[in-house]
Amino acid sequence: MILPRFSKFLWMLAGSALLLGSVGFGQGTGGSTAPRSLWTPPLDISVDGHRSDDLFITVTYMLVALFVIMVAILLFASFKFRASTGAKAHYDRGDSKKEAVKALVISTAIFAIVDGTLLVRSHIDVNEFYWKFPEGDPEVMRVEVLAQQWSWNFRYAGKDGKFNTPDDIVTLNDFRVPEGKKVLCQLTSKDVIHSFFLANCRMKRDANPGEITRMWFQTKPATAGLYQVTCAEICGYAHYLMQAKFEVMKPKDFDNWIQEAARWSEIGYEANKPEQHWGWDWKPTPSAQ
């Protein structure tokens, strides 16, 4: 009676997967609420985001392959060596030299194929893309990010190109970038460790108190829309509220917004207001990260 029970279990598992896969929810992009499967990640709007997705898919396929192989071995052993009349069990501790060599060879092969592939690909992605900060690019847009319980502060340099000056543009929970442009962020925290997470760019970096950390990304063309910044580090009882609007704008719209925001920043600047002066002189990216 093992086979019918196992078949029933498989049908229940398949039904649950279909039910979950059919459920969708809104995904922010230009106000769109188009449904998507729970099995798919958020829309990737960054130039290098596919690297994280490709690595995740590779891991998934490898684990599925290993799972299928192990289940096949277990099913084969269960049916081939099942109890029968007159059968005599043979007990083996599996600690002979032959069994040890066999286990070592199989384990080494799995480690080399699975872990070795992931290690090499991760090393290439990190060193050739994610840690190649565009510090020397004159067209890169620089943003300072201050995390605090439970909000995100953003600072853009004004017309003088310097940070922590009267014409800086400071926003609260409002992160805007121009479409297709490289964006270099420097982050710190006012209180505890937070994690600046842009799911749609596949980028995440911790913001630590007393330290300046860095991350950069570049959005693809035709990705203007509304997305979200979240905190991926448990930072207190209101951690779930630590969200910000992440808006990718057409270059012309962004230029109009930045000019208007700079004008209002100069009007509202107060020299004796400490909360306006949390910025810092831009820290050049060191060669080693």
User: Whole-prediction pTM value?
Assistant: 0.74
Mean pLDDT by 10 residues, the chain (289 residues): 50 48 39 53 87 88 91 88 73 80 88 87 84 84 93 89 84 92 93 93 92 92 91 91 93 89 75 75 66
Q: In the prediction, which pLDDT does 218 show?
A: 92
Contact between 263 and 275 under an 8 Å Cβ cutoff? The reply is: no
Q: Is 204 exposed, middle or buried (CB count within 10 Å of its CB: 0-12, 13-18, 19+)?
A: middle
pLDDT for 7 equals 53
Query: Can you give the pLDDT at residue 214?
Result: 92
Instruction: Extract the tokens encoding 77.
Output: 């052993």
Query: What's the pLDDT at 29?
Result: 43
Determine contact, residues 203/217, Cβ cutoff 8 Å: yes
pLDDT at 27: 42
The gap from C-alpha 228 to its chain's centroid, in whole angstroms, comes to 12
Convert the pLDDT of each residue in 1-49 to its tens digit: 444 555 555 555 555 444 434 333 334 444 443 445 567 788 889 988 8
Domains observed in the chain: 141-276 (2.60.40.420)
**Which residue type is seen at 94?**
G
At residue 178, the pLDDT reads 93
pLDDT score for 226: 92
Residue 35: predicted pLDDT: 46
- Chain mean position to CA 124: 17
